[in-house]
Structure 1
Amino acid sequence: MKHPLAPLFDGHDDIQAEIDRRPADTADHAAATRRILDAYHPGRLTLTVAAVVSETPSSVTLRLRRPDGADLPPFLAGQYVAVYTDGTSRPYAISSGPARPDHWDLTVRRVPGGRISNHLVDTVKAGDTLVTTGPMGTFHHNPLFHGDDVVFLAGGSGVAPAMSMIRDIVDHGLDRRFHLVYGSRSADDILFREELDALAADHPNIRVDHVVAEPGPQWAGPTGFLTASLIKTLAGPLDRRMVYVCGPQALYPYALTQLAELGHPPRRIRLEANGAPVDPTAQPHWPTNTAPDTAVTVTARGQSFRTRRDRPLLDALEDEGIRPEAACRSGECSLCRVRVVKGTVHTAEEARLRLSDEKFGYTHSCVAYPLTDVELDI
């Protein structure tokens, strides 16, 4: 059907005549489009663990490949995949570079008491299989908005996306300056130390500074935490440079405070989503006189069960065999979005909700906590 305004444009008659001369298109474009979407954005992949590399006493890198050896879906340096195991999932940044599509490297550090990290570090071996999502996440360099001179503040395993970004710069010969300021508990805890130092030595546009919180007698580099003073000493004036931050939960409020002290604007700071809050009751909008260890009733998909108020709804649902789609577990991706039909929940500050979610009762179950008995629509 012709649009009524189309004839007003110059050349309309010639273009319409060309369209009319073309043979009818009877191809099944929907099927072809589906194949392309599945190749680049798969829902699930079953991958083989090709190698397990011991990085530090508490961390390993799992190299994943397709069983048939074909290339994996492309990704942007800094993105992550979710790994599904033991009835739940956890997101892990890809530490390998995008230039090598035959594999993904996932670097996993043991979390004390961690259900999945301990399993991956202790029991996964070469030849095993793991189920993952395709690449996801918005924590990557955008050349239009982030400029060609960036600083990355990393803590612990938060260096994994920085490693991917550095490998991307080297593999593609990118004209980008990258300064990594990497904080570790001890010298033995530094991930990729030899490779990072070698890449920095060979590439003048890459700089790496290691900062150790608990130095041994042999450590001669910077020590302590990533304070405003230390950031200024190592990185110099931040000016309009983009600053990335990735690490344990405690790093985020601390880094934001230090960057604010330096006068760096929030719009020039990129934070990677990294899990649910350690203590949701510490957030300002947690209601007073609401005991976090009190149990309430959750009803979903015809089941009812009890759970503590300070436990994420997603964790509680999974323990009952109710498994909403989930990936980031940090309030960002929205895959675990559910509607609260009855009752009240505390939605953590980490949740990136849509403008309409509050009006219609939606929340992200990975960072939502039931304050009263609740009924959910999943």
Structure 2
Amino acid sequence: MKHPLAERFDGAGKVLAELDARAADTRDHLAETRGTIDAYHPKRLRLIVAEVIDETATTKTFRMESLDREELPPFLAGQYVNVFVDGTSRPYAISSSPTRLGHYDLTVRRVPGGRISNLLLDTVETGQIVNTTGPMGTFHHNPLFHGEDLVFLAGGSGVVPAMSMIREVIELGLDRRFQLIYGSRNASDIIFRDELDAVAAAHPGISVDHVIAEPDAEWDGATGFLSVDVIAALAGDLGRRMVYVCGPQALYPYALEQLTALGHSRKRIRFEANGAPAAPAAQPHWPAGAEPGEEVTVTVGGASFRTRRDRPLLDALEDRRIRPEAACRSGECSLCRVRVVKGQVHTAAEAKLRLSDEQFGYTHSCVAYPISDVELEV
């Protein structure tokens, strides 16, 4: 007996045959889809430290290999993984090329007083197992929007994503101009110096300019900070070149001021997310009269604790072993979203909130600060 649709439109027979074939398909499509997603975008990776490379007196590269797969998930040069350790986590950019997926290189510089950077540099050894997220982040090259003529302003360990980008250009033979202007405190602080200088000498499309803030008598290169005069002297007319900026937090407003003074469009400047603000109370929208050092009460699921106003909610929650999913810790990725049921929270300017977040009371806990007693839904 013919199906009632068989003569209703051209091609009906083919559609019906495909429906019959699908009805006989007993594959677990959900599991297959989940497997594909996990291969490219895993929630967690188990990595083993295959090698520890001393870069400078304050910087090491940890070469990480997978315990569970032949190749690590693909990533875009400039992206990071979030490293879980000591009850918290920190994002670290991948310095190796995305063409080499047998390992990830994570280059870590010591931060004075930094809880995690010091722990990693002082305790992590070859053979140690480390848990991370998969690669993520939006600080990467997009040829459609960014073009192929790029300037990268780096300060300190901000050179790490630039190194990944440069290595990719070389290994793929990309037709891309890449100028790195790299500021360091002194010559001994320059990470990847030998490799960068060798690359610049061998590849006409890549240039590397070092700028030293505290030069010794032997330094004959550029000195000072990444100022208007220094950028103009080294890069010339920026035109429509895309400018990437990565480094310590203090570099970002300074670089924006210098680039704006050069007449460069804000749309042609890209900043890497780089942590919670060092002084949230200095932001213009911090409520008047709210003393940063005073404590308030945070309530989650019926349990309460005290914390300072100027401590990020994510850090305060982790101290109590309440651990929302987190990655960037800079207000960008939104994984650490929590809902403010009661009370007032200062959400830092770094937060990339959705319109619906503001409408329904959500904030990014990594860059949110309790101004009054608050109740949260985590």
TM-score, normalising length from structure 1?
Answer: 0.96
Distance 2:257 2:235 in 1: 17
1:286-321 Cα distance to aligned partner (Å, 9 max, x none): 011110010000001232000000000000000011
What is the match of residue 13 of structure 1? 10
Deviation string for 1:27-55 (max 9, x for gaps)? 22111110011111111111100011010
Query: Aligned runs of 1:152-171 on 2, under 5 Å?
Result: 152-171=152-171
Partner residue of 1:4?
none
Stretches of 4+ aligned residues off by more than 6 angstroms: none
Does the 8 Å contact 1:309/1:370 carry over to 2?
yes
Amino acid at match of 1:225: F
Trace 1:1-378 onto structure 2 (pairs within 5 A).
Answer: 13-14=10-11, 16-22=12-18, 23-24=21-22, 25-67=25-67, 70-378=70-378
Partner-residue secondary structure (3-state), 2:352:
coil
Could you list the per-position Cα deviations for residues 190-209 of structure 1 after superposition, in whole angstroms to 9, with x for gaps in the alignment?
Answer: 00000011111111110000
Tell me the CA shift for residue 228 of structure 1: 1.0
SS in 2 for 1:157: helix
Q: CA deviation at 1:68?
A: 5.2
Paired with 1:19 and 1:232, the residues of 2 have a C-alpha distance of: 64
Is the CA contact 1:69–1:102 (under 8 Å) kept in the aligned structure 2? no
Contact persistence 2:107–2:160 (CA under 8 A): yes
Separation (CA, whole Å) in 2 of partners of 1:284 and 1:167: 40
Structure 1 residue 336: Cα displacement: 0.3
Structure 2: any 5+ residue segments left out of the alignment?
Answer: 1-7
The amino acid across from 1:160 in the alignment is: V
Structure 1 gaps of 5+ residues are: 1-6
Number of residue pairs matched? 367
Output the CA distance in 1 between the equivalents of 2:218 and 2:41: 47
Cα RMSD of the aligned pairs, angstroms, is 1.1
Q: Per-residue CA shift, 1:110-132, capped at 9, x if unaligned?
A: 01111100011111010111100
Q: Give the letter aligned to residue 227 of structure 1.
A: S
Q: Share of identical aligned residues, percent? A: 69
3-state SS in 2 of match to 1:84? strand
TM-score under structure 2 normalisation? 0.96
Query: Deviation at 1:67?
Result: 2.4
In structure 2, how many angstroms separate the alpha carbons of the residues matched to 1:376 and 1:74?
Answer: 36
